[in-house]
Structure 1
Amino acid sequence: MSTPTTGRLRVDGATLHYEVRGEGPPLLLIPGGTGGAASFDGVADMLAAEYTVASYDPRGLSRSPLDDPQAQQRVARHADDAFRLLDLLSPDAPARVVGCSSGAIVALHMLTERPERLERVVAHEPPVVEVLPDAAEHRAMLARVQETFHRDGLLPAAAEFAAALRRPGDPAPAPVELPPQARARAERTMADMPYFLGSIVPSFMAYAPDLDRLEALKHRLVLAAGADSHGELPYRPAACLAERFGTGLVHFPGGHTGLTTHPAEFGDMLRKVLAA
């Protein structure tokens, strides 16, 4: 694995840690969950053979501290951070953007806000539950998770949230043997879970994308989901939007976390989708 060039970017209310690899057209990778830039370590080198690959720790996570740790988080502010990074690294050329999970929500907002800056967007399982016909049920679930978080703490709330993401009736998954790098990363990012569950999840999963705007830009949008996550909650919005827009849903190896569990196959699929 190559060593990326790293930098710090001052934005409104935070300082972002970012990493850059390779040469070629600009490609911005937006992580989901608490993974940060390191979540793309398994695919970044492969993509850097063809692109200038940039990723970063979103504000409040890992190496991107907030000025005010209690500040409310909004999708639009996170999208502005991503644009500021693009403007720094690629002020002229339109970029390709890949977002996973909560990062995919940011990518969708970017496309609706400044489409002239984006050549193509790959959104892998954005949990925009407001597009679903049963959105009210998921709003109630998110409220229950927050109640549990504030009453009982992180672990009970995280367990309740994870159960809500699974297919109805599915048991909790057995532990998965992760690659060594992924295991070390999982241990490091547990420290960010209170911030993610308490600040990112309720705000991001309440986000309602501009569907008319997205449909008008669907030729630049690739909606993607895990081959193994059919029927799980994060899968459903991508499938719903693909059906609404008539674009088809691109299946990637693995499930919602296929980037971590199947990095080589996930990266190969990304190369194909980005080049199409």
Structure 2
Amino acid sequence: MIDIFVNDETSPLKAVILGAARRIGRTPHFEEAYDPKSKEHIIAGTYPKEADMVAEIKAFSNVLEKYGVKVYRPEIIEDYNQIFARDIGFVIEDKFIQPTILKDRKEEIKGIQYILDEIDSQQLVVVPEGVRIEGGDVMPWKDHIFVGYSEKEDFDKYVVARTNRAGLDFLTKEFPNKKVKGFQLNKSDEVAKDNALHLDCCFQPIGKNEAIIYKGGFKFEEDYNYLKEYFGEENLIHINRDEMYEMNSNVFSISPKVVVLEKNFTRLATVLEKRGFTVEKVPYSEISKMEGLLRCSTLPLERAK
């Protein structure tokens, strides 16, 4: 059996599912893309090639294994994008939550079924019909669960709105011992620099009590202010609109001291190193063209208690 436990974003990582890019299929047509950054690159002819993405994920896997992390990989589904494992499930405490996601991605869960079969069935929670959540919007953080979501007006309007009010309410009921705090995000189906696809595209806790944040990703200033007060302004690393677009908040913590980030994030790397973090740099700029990065590619199964 596989043990699962996750209570925050940074405790020492023991086991993780890392997405896969092999046999991903052809470049999608413009009308098949469901995020604005992918659309940009389809139009420009710069959509990432499979070989480059496979190499990037391999580099990430090597870093995880260097720190003794058990890395699980999805079984390959032919002609299917299986890179962003974060969205198809997530662990909070000792429960694996299997959400309802975009219908174009509903087959992805089959790639990790062999892993789910090794988890105690009493720890598996399938989200009910009408409840929409994607793992990129959900961040367990000690006594909190931070959730990016959209109210009905935005959820019905934008393809890039992936978590609804019912998702927020579901997590509140499922984890009564946690403070489930929802943040509405700014959305755009057409302009990537105006779109916070998930909460981890504009916010990410690191270390013991620090966070990377993009203020403009939040629809309401009071939500940004909540996080500023919670972490303390001196513990926030602010990124700008262009850095948000490049996915600077979508880093991944192996432990409170070790953060993995894209090798071109030079300003962020310098800031983190000055704050005492060990920064592991990997090439991930091709995968970022699909509006996802390191956190999006991972589904942590177990972190130290």
Whether the TM-score (by the shorter chain) exceeds 0.5 is no
Structure number having the greater helix percentage: 1
Q: TM-score, normalised by structure 2?
A: 0.25
TM-score normalised to structure 1 length = 0.27
Q: Which has the higher contact order (CA 8 A, sep 6+)?
A: 2
